């Protein structure tokens, strides 16, 4: 198990136990961790992770993270398991890297690169030259000093990250909607020549990185993408080192441009790579279930279109989950734009992406009959203590031993052991222990097996959670907000 897959104990749950752990327990934990890595392969969200499915098709599946996201264990666990390309949200932009002239701050970007390297992800560098998130000292420079400042910035940043970056967004968002060049400080100082100048500086600093122009609203064939297309032709004709075109792909649900594939193909025909660099698909709030499902269709279309274009190298989403997306703060009234909900549960967009990549689109139905329920965090089985079938007995985790008190039968949506049903007590909230009770078939006895491996209560929406992330025999099982962490994932064995 990767170290940052391990969720932190919640306050008051497991902290003191943890301090009491002896060497033997730690050793067992390490052995379980190794066994998990080798044998059971943390499944994360689906039978096969997006990154694995994408790699089988010669593509990558990426995401974006900011420095703050590095502190979120659930987010980290999904990012590492599902994605093999990482873009820093803000940490490599000019206003972070060189807030004052000649003073470089690479720390935040370095942290993102370290996370990526620790999880075998590549990095999209984002970005070197952009009119936005640009310190005022640059926009206030006399025009005859802008080229020097730009070249110095590119050289220092791309040199610092040399060898660690798969592709650089060298120029970000250079176009107006009508296809003309945005008259930002760079265009005003150097005319359209600034793009070739920037590309050449980046090539000199990091010869191995693919060099991109990245923009939004250029996904379909339209005035803006026509402007970009002409510029790409002219840059290539001049011998400027342009390798790829990034299509940001901040879509609105149900409004994908129908010419996405045609447009990608025309850039590919110039000999350029193309990439979907910042995919999200925003939905008017509150998000209706039909829009959530339509979002799945949109994601499936984007992935399928990328697969249909040989030079489309991969798809990156902007953000991991709806709770860490830029959309809600930037487009008031919109949200729910990513493939994971705020509880890190995969949405139809996830399943559609996996399906487009050749994976299974729905979680496998629970096999009929009885099976054990093995906790991913401990490898121990959900167990009815002493086979006590008295109403109110609370199941625990225990060494798997094949006993009948560890056999749980799926019957409809109920989970039965020794003739009793797994039951959430009336008015259960986060922290309530589950119990067994006479089967009534009511919704507090109904459970859903989610694609992520969690098991949630139909009535409460909360997930079966090994209390305090403890792993010892006898630890009780509670209901808790679904995080998808290992102490909430169960496999039927």
- List the catalytic residues: 173, 278
Residue ranges in 178-197 that form contacts with ligand XIL under rule CB under 6 A: none
Closer by beta carbon to ligand XIL, 115 or else 490: 115
Per-residue contact flags (x/-) with ligand XIL for residues 396 to 415, judged by CB under 6 A: --------------------
Closer by beta carbon to ligand XIL, 89 or else 125: 89
Q: What is the spatial distance between Cα 410 and Cα 327, in angstroms, rounded to a whole number?
A: 40
Helix (H, G, I), strand (E, B) or coil at 176: coil
Could you tell me if 273 and 315 are in contact, meaning their C-beta atoms sit under 8 angstroms apart? no
Q: Which two tokens stand for residue 238?
A: 């001049």
Tell me how far, at minimum, the Cβ of 464 lies from ligand XIL, in Å.
34
Tell me how far, at minimum, the Cβ of 64 lies from ligand XIL, in Å.
7
Per-residue contact flags (x/-) with ligand XIL for residues 430 to 459, judged by CB under 6 A: ------------------------------
Tell me how far, at minimum, the Cβ of 226 lies from ligand XIL, in Å.
20
Which residue in 25, 90, 459, 476 binds ligand XIL (CB under 6 A)? Answer: 90
Which residue in 5, 273, 278, 322 binds ligand XIL (CB under 6 A)? Answer: 278
Q: What are phi and psi of 154, to 5 degrees?
A: -60, -45
Q: β-strand 463-466 against 477-480: which pairing, if any? A: antiparallel
Which residue in 77, 172, 263, 488 binds ligand XIL (CB under 6 A)? Answer: 172
Binding residue count for ligand XIL, defined by CB under 6 A: 6
Closer by beta carbon to ligand XIL, 248 or else 321: 248
Tell me how far, at minimum, the Cβ of 401 lies from ligand XIL, in Å.
50
- For position 88 contacting ligand XIL by CB under 6 A, the verdict is no
Q: Is the peptide bond before 286 cis (omega within 30 degrees of 0)?
A: yes
- For position 69 contacting ligand XIL by CB under 6 A, the verdict is no
Long-range (24+ apart) CB contacts under 8 A made by 218-221 are 218/175, 218/245, 218/247, 218/248, 218/263, 219/247, 219/248, 219/249, 219/251, 219/256, 219/257, 219/260, 219/263, 220/257, 220/258, 220/259, 220/260, 220/263, 221/257, 221/259, 221/262, 221/263, 221/266
Could you tell me if 64 and 87 are in contact, meaning their C-beta atoms sit under 8 angstroms apart? yes
Could you tell me if 381 and 372 are in contact, meaning their C-beta atoms sit under 8 angstroms apart? yes
- For position 109 contacting ligand XIL by CB under 6 A, the verdict is no
Closer by beta carbon to ligand XIL, 322 or else 423: 322
Tell me how far, at minimum, the Cβ of 338 lies from ligand XIL, in Å.
12
Closer by beta carbon to ligand XIL, 89 or else 244: 89
Closer by beta carbon to ligand XIL, 67 or else 179: 67
Q: Which two tokens stand for residue 368?
A: 């009929």
Closer by beta carbon to ligand XIL, 89 or else 457: 89
CA dist list (Å): 300 to 305, 334, 353: 8, 21, 5
Q: What is the spatial distance between Cα 126 and Cα 168, in angstroms, rounded to a whole number?
A: 6
Of residues 340, 433, 470, the one with CA closest to residue 10: 470
- For position 89 contacting ligand XIL by CB under 6 A, the verdict is yes
Q: β-strand 167-172 against 210-215: which pairing, if any? A: parallel
Neighbouring-strand partners of residue 129: 171
Q: Which two tokens stand for residue 86?
A: 């990482």
Closer by beta carbon to ligand XIL, 11 or else 332: 332
Per-residue contact flags (x/-) with ligand XIL for residues 318 to 347, judged by CB under 6 A: --------x---------------------
Tell me how far, at minimum, the Cβ of 121 lies from ligand XIL, in Å.
18
Residue whose beta carbon is closest to ligand XIL: 326
Tell me how far, at minimum, the Cβ of 352 lies from ligand XIL, in Å.
23
- For position 248 contacting ligand XIL by CB under 6 A, the verdict is yes
Q: Convert 350-370 to b/e letters by CB count within 10 Å (16 or more is b).
A: bbbbbbbbebebebeebeeee
Tell me how far, at minimum, the Cβ of 323 lies from ligand XIL, in Å.
14
Interface residues with ligand XIL (CB under 6 A)?
A: 89-90, 172, 248, 278, 326
């Amino acid at each position: 198990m990767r170290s940052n897959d391990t969720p932190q104990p919640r306050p008051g749950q497991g902290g003191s136990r943890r301090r009491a752990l002896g060497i033997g327990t730690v050793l067992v934990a390490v052995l379980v961790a190794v066994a998990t890595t080798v044998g059971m392969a943390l499944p994360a969200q689906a039978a096969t992770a997006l990154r694995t499915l994408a790699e089988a098709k010669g593509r990558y599946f990426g995401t974006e993270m900011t420095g703050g996201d590095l502190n979120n264990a659930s987010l980290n666990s999904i990012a590492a398991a599902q994605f093999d390309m990482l873009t820093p949200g803000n940490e490599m932009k000019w206003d972070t890297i060189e807030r004052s002239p000649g003073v470089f701050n690479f720390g935040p970007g370095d942290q993102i690169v370290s996370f990526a390297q620790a999880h075998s992800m590549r990095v999209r560098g984002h970005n070197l030259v952009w009119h936005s998130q640009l310190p005022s000292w640059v926009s206030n420079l006399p025009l005859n000093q802008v080229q020097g400042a730009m070249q110095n910035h590119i050289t220092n940043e791309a040199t610092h990250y040399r060898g660690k970056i798969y592709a650089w967004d060298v120029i970000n968002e250079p176009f107006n909607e009508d296809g003309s060049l945005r008259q930002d400080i760079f265009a005003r100082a150097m005319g359209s020549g600034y793009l070739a100048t920037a590309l050449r500086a980046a090539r000199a600093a990091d010869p191995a990185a693919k060099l991109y122009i990245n923009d939004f609203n250029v996904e379909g064939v339209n005035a803006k993408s026509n402007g970009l297309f002409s510029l790409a032709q002219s840059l290539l004709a001049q011998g400027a080192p342009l390798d790829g075109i990034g299509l940001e792909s901040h879509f609105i649900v149900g409004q994908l441009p129908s010419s996405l594939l045609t447009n990608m193909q025309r850039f590919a025909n110039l000999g350029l790579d193309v990439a979907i660099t910042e995919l999200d698909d925003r939905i008017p709030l509150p998000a209706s279930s039909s829009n959530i499902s339509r979002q799945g269709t949109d994601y499936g279309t984007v992935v399928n279109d990328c697969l249909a274009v040989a030079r489309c190298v991969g798809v990156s989403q902007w953000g991991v989950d709806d709770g860490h997306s830029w959309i809600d703060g930037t487009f008031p009234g919109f949200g729910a734009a990513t493939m994971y909900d705020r509880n890190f549960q995969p949405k139809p967009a996830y399943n559609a992406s996996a399906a487009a990549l050749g994976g299974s689109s729905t979680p496998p139905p629970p096999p009929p009959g009885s099976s054990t329920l093995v906790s991913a965090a401990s490898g121990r089985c959900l167990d009815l203590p002493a086979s006590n079938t008295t109403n109110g007995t609370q199941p625990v985790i225990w060494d798997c031993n094949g006993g009948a008190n560890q056999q749980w039968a799926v019957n409809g949506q109920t989970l039965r052991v020794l003739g009793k049903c797994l039951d959430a007590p009336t008015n259960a909230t986060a922290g309530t222990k589950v119990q067994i009770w006479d089967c009534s078939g009511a919704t507090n006895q109904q459970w859903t097996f989610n694609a992520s491996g969690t098991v949630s209560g139909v009535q409460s929406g909360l997930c079966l959670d090994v209390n305090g992330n403890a792993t010892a025999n006898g630890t009780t099982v509670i209901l808790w907000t679904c995080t998808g962490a290992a102490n909430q994932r169960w496999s039927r064995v």
